[in-house]
């Protein structure tokens, strides 16, 4: 792809050699004369000057003192993500069902679906057009998979799970396993039957080895556009809203509500029936206590999670106490 073609695709102005051919996207430090890269953050001019990239995606106010070949855009990182789709197009799996796959009675496989080797598809399943089911996936009875979904190898969907359009489930995901529900009766824990469902909206991505439990009664739901990292656990009856971002190793206990556009850092623990309101930010390693409400737009940190300003003030107090104690120690 030539620079001027990339600029037209991105609907952004370019400067320099529009005929230069770009073959791939590379990190700034590793890029060569036929590579595209991008510059963000502090000292963009200094970082750009040290790179051999053939073309750079830069911010609109970038000072191009070296007269490099650049494409100006308001959001270079977002622009490079779009450029990757052109310079590194996704390899689509060929449609068709592998001979080793097992298809249950009444299953409907729409046109253009790829079903890989050793896949098991249960009774009454519907797989939407253009979806891809990787090797070794297990799809339980009466599952509904929307159009253009991608299930990477080794995904398990228990019965009565619904996926929207363009959902991506990475290897080892388990969707619809029983929630952690037990009743203590006469000193013995007895299972509380988990007979609910899981519903996942459109354009949801769920990382490798993450688990979403079915509801005890009702629905565990994940809204449109939400992105969940690897090794995340979503407990029974949780309701995760739209365009939520959840980093790795976070766990949601049963009945948690996370509203739209919230951001949850890595290794966060969220107690039963807690509520994280819209656009709140929960810092990495935080603990949100049972039934706690994190208010809309509020950044919180620590265990127990509290407003970031309060958390930082407490850290400062502890630091001063430690210094004072050190001064008071007898020599």
Query: Could you give the dihedral angle defined by the CA atoms of residues 153, 86, 225 and 169, in that order, rounded to the nearest 10 degrees?
Result: 0
Our CA angle for 313, 319, 322, nearest 5°, is 145
Closest CA to 195 of 185, 181, 174: 181
What is 186-222 written as a DSSP string? TTEEEE-----EEEE-TT-EE-TT-EEEPPSSSEEEE
Q: Match 């519907």 to its residue by tokens.
A: 126
Q: In this structure, are residues 57 and 39 in contact, taking their beta carbons and an 8 Å threshold?
A: yes
60's CB contacts (< 8 A; 6+ apart) are: 72, 73, 74
Give the Cα separation of 166 and 203 in Å (integer): 5
152, 233, 236, 311: which is the annotated catalytic residue? 236
**Number of neighbours of residue 182 by Cβ within 10 angstroms:** 11
Q: Has 152 been annotated as catalytic?
A: no
Strand partners, 300: 282, 307
Q: Match 């001979």 to its residue by tokens.
A: 99
| Residues belonging to the active site | 236
């Amino acid at each position: 792809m030539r620079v001027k073609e990339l600029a037209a695709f991105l609907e952004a102005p370019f400067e320099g050699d529009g005929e230069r051919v770009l073959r791939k996207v590379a990190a700034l430090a590793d890029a060569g004369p036929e590579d595209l890269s991008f510059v963000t953050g502090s000292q963009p001019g200094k970082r750009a000057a040290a790179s051999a990239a053939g073309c750079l995606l830069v911010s609109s106010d970038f000072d191009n003192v070296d007269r490099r070949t650049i494409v100006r855009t308001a959001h270079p990182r977002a622009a490079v993500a779009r450029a990757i789709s052109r310079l590194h197009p996704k390899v689509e799996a060929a449609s068709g069902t592998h001979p080793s796959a097992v298809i249950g009675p009444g299953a409907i496989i729409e046109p253009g679906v790829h079903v890989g080797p050793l896949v098991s598809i249960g009774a009454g399943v519907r797989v939407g057009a253009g979806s891809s089911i990787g090797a070794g996936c297990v799809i339980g009875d009466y599952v509904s998979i929307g159009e253009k979904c991608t299930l990477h190898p080794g995904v398990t969907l228990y019965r009565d799970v619904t996926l929207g359009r363009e959902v991506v489930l990475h290897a080892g995901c388990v969707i619809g396993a029983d929630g952690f529900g037990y009743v203590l009766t006469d000193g013995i824990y007895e299972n509380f039957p988990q007979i609910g469902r899981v519903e996942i909206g459109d354009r949801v991505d769920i990382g490798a080895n993450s688990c979403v439990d079915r509801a005890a009664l009702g629905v565990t739901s994940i809204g449109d556009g939400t992105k969940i990292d690897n090794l995340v656990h979503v407990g029974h009856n949780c309701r995760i809203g739209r365009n939520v971002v959840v980093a790795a190793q976070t766990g949601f206990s049963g009945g948690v509500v996370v509203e739209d556009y919230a951001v949850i850092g890595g290794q966060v623990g969220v107690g039963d029936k807690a509520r994280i309101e819209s656009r709140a930010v929960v810092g990495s390693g935080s603990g949100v206590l049972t039934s706690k409400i994190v208010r809309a737009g509020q950044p919180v940190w620590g265990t127990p999670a509290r407003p970031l300003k309060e958390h930082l003030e407490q850290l400062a107090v502890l630091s001063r106490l430690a210094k004072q104690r050190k001064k008071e120690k007898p020599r």
